[in-house]
Amino acid sequence: MKRLSTEQLLSINKFSVDDEAKHIILDRQICGRCESKPCRFACPAGLYSIKDGEISFDPVGCLECGTCRVVCSHPGAITWQYPRGGFGVIYRYG
Ligand code: SF4
Ligand code: SF4
């Protein structure tokens, strides 16, 4: 059986963004005091990055795994909840 790459595995999902109720909200002030920003390296979908010197999060592609919440050691930096019904990660071919 042929093994798929991480990129190929991620491509079989799609994510429906709920613009009215974001499932991950960052506190920019707290994140600004975080030096190592481990969320950038821990998110399996690579959704955290640095833009204009600040942490940036792109919800498209989120796997709802919760890893970013676990690795973040700054209380209150991440407000995390599962997306509402009908939103979030969906199997593309389901
Ligand atoms: S979400 Fe947590 S780990 Fe990521 S930059 Fe903010 S404080 Fe740091
Ligand atoms: S829940 Fe998982 S996939 Fe989504 S942003 Fe956090 S670490 Fe990345």
Q: Which atom of ligand 2 is nearest to the CA of 42?
A: 7
**Closest by alpha carbon to 47, among 21, 23, 68, 75?**
68
Whose alpha carbon is nearest atom 8 of ligand 2?
Answer: 43
Q: Is the pLDDT of residue 86 over 80?
A: yes
Q: Which atom of ligand 1 is nearest to the CA of 71?
A: 3
pLDDT given for residue 7 in this prediction: 84
| pTM for the whole structure | 0.88
User: 82 or 2: whose pLDDT is higher?
Assistant: 82
Average pLDDT, the chain: 93
φ, ψ dihedrals at 5, nearest 5°: -75, 165
Residue-wise pLDDT tens digits, 33-80: 999 999 999 999 999 999 999 999 999 989 999 999 999 999 999 999
Confidence of residue 11 (pLDDT cuts 50, 70, 90): confident
Whose alpha carbon is nearest atom 2 of ligand 2?
Answer: 65
Measure 42 CA to ligand 2 centroid, in angstroms.
8
SS (H, E, C) 6-39: HHHHHCCEEEECCCCCCCEEECHHHHHCCCCCCH
